[in-house]
Amino acid sequence: MRSGIGAMFGLFLAAAPVWGAQGPAFTVPWWSVLPFAILLLLIALLPVLAAHWWEHPVNKLLVAGVCSLPVVMGLAALEKSTHGASMALLGHSLEEYVAFLAMVGSLYIVAGGIVVAGKIDGRPWVNTLILASGAVLANLVSTVGASMLLIRPFLRANRWRKSWHLPVFFIFVVSNLGGLLLPLGDPPLFLGFLQGVDFLWTIRLWPQWLLANGMVLAIFFVWDWVLWRKGQAADPETADNLLKAQMRSGQNISLEEGPLRVAGKRNLFFLAGILIAVLLQSDQVAGRLRDLFGLALKLDHPLVGGGLMVLCALGSLAITPEKLRKANGFSWHPFGEVAILFLGLFITMGPALTLLSQNASAMAGAGPGRYYWLTGIGSSILDNAPTYMAFATVAAGSREQIALLPEVAPHILAAISTAAVFFGAMTYIGNGPNFMVQSIAQELHFPTPSFLKYIQVSVLVLLPVLLLVQWVFF
């Protein structure tokens, strides 16, 4: 475990020289997005065409590296002609990647030490209640935190059913749709918060949140009830064997007996520390603390906030008994997979986002509906956090004016915010927790759809809901 934390800390040190690098704007050619498109295609096809080869992390790193290398070399070759702007773009991509990894990795590690134990019967109404609870919890501890806290008990409660719809709907609701109401919920909203959008502004999006989550939960309940009625249950001996295989040997606590309870409560302290580190990066929060208590607690440098998150993860590793992590089936594989693939995605998507900004004039006079769909499409294939920033910047005219959008263009900001959060569920790469949940489900021997099949399911189930959201609100 310590080697994984060491790798995270090393990324901070490596990124320090370029953090916050700035340079003049420069024009990127259309063909600079080809490495990103090729990487997306390989992520979609290799799990199907070369499943065994793709399982090994080294091969994922090879694919990400081969696709990233042309971008790095191309930006380096343009450094002189662009007066450093090309390398500033690469530095900005690394900055966003390290910030993303610090938050996702720290929440993954801390939540991995919190065990939700007790007898949970995976009936349709219970499963629906767990997903609904996760949709609320996501706004308080982020979609990453809620996903890592609930995915293992959710799958344990349904260990004898082995249906791929369970992790898929979990990704839909807990890992994405639920996190719309507060900036802590999802990375796109957090980035807007850091740019000056009021902390409570997104609460006004509760009608969109209620409609989307309510419809998806209703679809899930009917789907789950039909499968339940068909009878997916295994005999008790088979269920016990599945539990042993999933939860590994050597655990000293009973996960399936007794009342519902939480073990590893000390990790809640570190979870609160991560959320505080997030909040203290905001000028608004720091200003209110200064006005009310005279405290100057603003974390001016992103490395400071990210470093505090890593320290919380280190503290969690130090004080959490190993038996709790074993009971949770904790491993570094899901985090490693996200770290490798998203490194390639963040590097290769830099030119794509720049190309999008270069064509901002095409959005002149666009209404909320257009922003909704373009932000949604981008969030599905580009990761939703940088896509949010790209379109919010286009709508505001500059990054510095994003804080004015709630007053001058509230409907457009609502469309961008809603689409960035909701459409992150359309693909595995749309939001950070998606890949993690898929990887954890696979480790627990649950079937999960391939990249392409997942998209087919999201188009059939989720896209009609998102169409309705646009028709009603935008």
Residue 28 covered by a domain: no
pLDDT tier at 418, thresholds 50, 70, 90:
very high
Pick the range with the lowest mean pLDDT from 222-226, 301-305, 314-318, 399-403: 301-305
Three-state DSSP state, 182: coil
At residue 43, the pLDDT reads 80
Greater model confidence, 275 or 376: 376
What confidence score (pLDDT) does residue 254 get? Answer: 56
Residue 338: both structure tokens together: 């996200």
pLDDT at residue 140, rounded to an integer: 85
Q: How far apart are CA 133 and CA 113, in angstroms?
A: 20
Highest mean pLDDT among 12-21, 133-142, 150-159: 133-142
Whether pLDDT at 431 is above 70: yes
Beta strands at 115-117 and 261-263: parallel, antiparallel or unpaired: antiparallel
Alpha-carbon gap, residue 64 to 449, rounded angstroms: 22
Report which residue type is found at 325.
R
DSSP summary character for residue 200: T
Whether 99 contacts 302, CB under 8 Å? yes
Span of 10-24, 194-208, 400-414 with lowest mean pLDDT: 10-24
Length of the chain: 474
pLDDT at 411 > cutoff 90: yes
**Within-domain flag for 27:** no
State the residue for tokens 């009608």. 207
pLDDT (0 to 100) of residue 57: 84
pLDDT at 472: 95
Distance CA 430, CA 32 (A): 21
Are 421 and 384 in contact by the 8 Å Cβ rule? The answer is yes
Tell whether 25 is covered by a domain: no
- What is the DSSP secondary-structure string of 373-401? HHHHHHHHHH-HHHHHHHHHHHHHSSGGG
Is residue 13 scored above 60 in pLDDT?
A: no
Other beta carbons less than 10 A from residue 253's beta carbon: 15
Q: How distant is the alpha carbon of residue 408 from its chain centre?
A: 29
Residue 251 confidence class, pLDDT cut points 50, 70, 90: very low
Is residue 107 a part of any domain in this protein?
yes
pTM for the model stands at: 0.75
Domain count, the chain: 1
Which residue, among 99, 119, 187, 107, has the nearest Cα to 149 in the 3D structure?
107
Per-residue pLDDT tens digits for 32-52? 888 988 988 888 788 778 878
pLDDT in tens, 149-159: 888 889 888 87
pLDDT at 32: 82
Whether 24 is covered by a domain: the verdict is: no
Residue 441 lies in a domain: yes
Can you list the alpha helix ranges (DSSP code H) found in 78-112? 85-111
59-113 per-position pLDDT tens digit = 989 999 999 999 888 888 888 888 888 888 888 788 878 877 888 788 888 888 8
In the three-class reduction of DSSP (H, G, I as helix; E, B as strand; rest coil), residue 408 is classed as: helix
Give the domain extent around 300: 2-17+33-473
Distances from the Cα of 10 to the Cα of 14, 61, 158, 270, angstroms: 6, 17, 39, 21
- Please give, one letter per residue, the 3-state secondary structure of 38-51: HHHHHHHHHHHHCH
Decide if 417 contacts 189 (C-beta within 8 A): yes
262 DSSP β-pair partners: 116
Helices and strands in the chain: count of H runs, count of E runs: 21, 2
Any bridge partners for residue 263, and if so which?
A: 115
Residue 22 in domain: no
Distance CA 442, CA 445 (A): 5
Q: Which residue has the higher pLDDT, 342 or 270?
A: 270
Give the CA count within 13 Å in the CB-facing half-sphere of 403. 10
- Give the chain's mean pLDDT: 81
Ranked by mean pLDDT, the top range of 211-220, 257-266, 267-276, 403-412 is 211-220
pLDDT tops 50 at residue 20: no
Q: Note the pLDDT of residue 236.
A: 45
Per-residue pLDDT tens digits for 230-250: 765 544 444 555 555 544 434
Q: What percent of the chain has pLDDT above 70? A: 82
The token duo for 74 is 């191309």
